[in-house]
Amino acid sequence: MAQKTLGKVIHYYDHLGVAVIKLAKGAALKKGDRVEFKGSSTDFTQKVVSLQADHEDVDSVKAGDDFGLKVDKPVREGDAVHPAA
């Protein structure tokens, strides 16, 4: 069974450790969720602790939103974001 995709990384601010993610159709994400980042050289899981949309702290995001997420490790544009098992 294919793993559900929540979205993909569209930008990464390395000096801030923040990924900008475009949420996929039908997806939603909230603080406290666990996500997995997968890419050609990226593979780690983390808890969502900080979400920002339009430069405001938010508790959740919905399908189609672009949002910032503080990440534990570097990610790359195009990396997929999945719900962690």
DSSP sequence for 4-55: PP-EEEEEEETTTTEEEEEEPTT-EEETT-EEEEESSS-EEEEE---EEETT
Residue 41: pLDDT over 80: yes
Residue 77: pLDDT over 80: yes
Residue 1: pLDDT over 80: no
Give the span between the Cα atoms of 84 and 76, in whole angstroms: 18
Residue 3: pLDDT over 90: no
Say if pTM beats, i.e. exceeds, 0.85. yes
Q: DSSP label at 59?
A: S
Q: Domains of the chain (ranges plus CATH)? A: 7-80 (2.40.30.10)
Give the span between the Cα atoms of 55 and 27, in whole angstroms: 21
Give the span between the Cα atoms of 3 and 43, in whole angstroms: 14
